[in-house]
Structure 1
């Protein structure tokens, strides 16, 4: 495969993963805070992929996109571990969240979303959780980015 083909594959891979996240959200699987954190590096990789495809320092942009893929994969591993109770997650979005920061009016308000999704709740699983699949796919995309960065043509 040429560098161009690898860049297309990796960029479209991130489009598919990020698009899949939005599809799951559209059909009713609201994201937690950590799910949202995982989306930002995918968006960055898409922008970097577009720049690389446009010929803007392809080796550098592919390397940066690989880093973005590793970052979202790392967040996915951490999130999956929180979901499986292997380690504690951020207190702001796990079952141990401190409700003391809310006033009575905040707790009774109807202006918030119908459902608050906690980061340690598994809302969908097919072998791995969504966070786990994000990690696997992201690390695979990081490999493709790395190959693209190493290619000269």
Structure 2
């Protein structure tokens, strides 16, 4: 892969910054919906967050490496890693959306286990054992026809495209490292 040793520049630095911001906003939004909005995530929802938890420090490392004029193979390698993480996230999101739409069954641990309960009212200790994650085949909500998993698929595809595109992009004419 000879492109790995090509000089890097502003494109790689900007992409790493966009990826850091994008991954942080995406998983941050999911956490806000959970802790502020009261949406209880299912098992597949929680699994979809893992690539983001890994991608955030990798994106930070890519941003520092690109901004610090690290060797091109390191910068491009980190961008490829980010692209692969976002492809993994895309797979998880499409799988979850397919489960929600009934195209295929979800994992056994996704079966509905009963009502979620109310954490905000009553006796918290009494209700903590009653809280069960929702079934993976029921979307918590839809916005413009897409569930959270569907929107994650779009975000993951965009972020993967940015990462993989920047990993192969040439450095700017006027700025090479």
TM-score, normalized by the shorter chain, greater than 0.5 = yes
Which of 66, 79, 94 in structure 1 is aligned with 2:83?
66
Structure 1 equivalent of residue 18 of structure 2 = 9
What is the CA distance between 1:116 and its match in structure 2?
2.4
Shift of residue 110, structure 1, vs aligned partner: 5.1
User: The residue matched to 1:128 in structure 2 has which SS?
Assistant: coil
Q: 29, 33, 44: which one pairs with 2:39?
A: 29
Deviation of 1:94 (Å): 2.6
The 2-side partners of 1:18 and 1:116 are apart by 19
Q: Distance in 1 between matches of 2:147 and 2:61?
A: 32
Q: Is the CA contact 2:40–2:134 (under 8 Å) kept in the aligned structure 1? A: yes
Pairwise mapping of residues 37-52 of structure 1 onto structure 2 (< 5 A)?
37-52=47-62
Q: Distance in 2 between matches of 1:147 and 1:116?
A: 37
Residue equivalent to 1:75: 92
Q: Is the 8 A contact 1:45 1:66 kept in 2?
A: no
- Structure 1 residue 151: deviation in Å? 2.9
Aligned residue among 93, 96, 101 for 1:84: 101
Q: Which whole-Å CA distance do the structure 2 matches of 1:6 and 1:92 have between them? A: 37
Unaligned runs of 5+ in 1: 98-108
In the alignment, the residues of structure 1 paired with residue 28 and residue 161 of structure 2 have an alpha-carbon distance, to the nearest angstrom, of: 20
Gaps of 5+ in 2: 1-9, 114-125, 172-177
Structure 1's consecutive aligned runs of 4 or more residues displaced over 4 angstroms after TM superposition are none
Question: What is the alpha-carbon root mean square deviation over aligned residues?
Answer: 1.8
Question: TM-score by structure 2 length?
Answer: 0.74
Q: Distance in 2 between matches of 1:94 and 1:115?
A: 10
Contact between 1:69 and 1:142, CA under 8 Å: does it hold in 2? yes
Q: Secondary structure at the match of 1:120?
A: coil
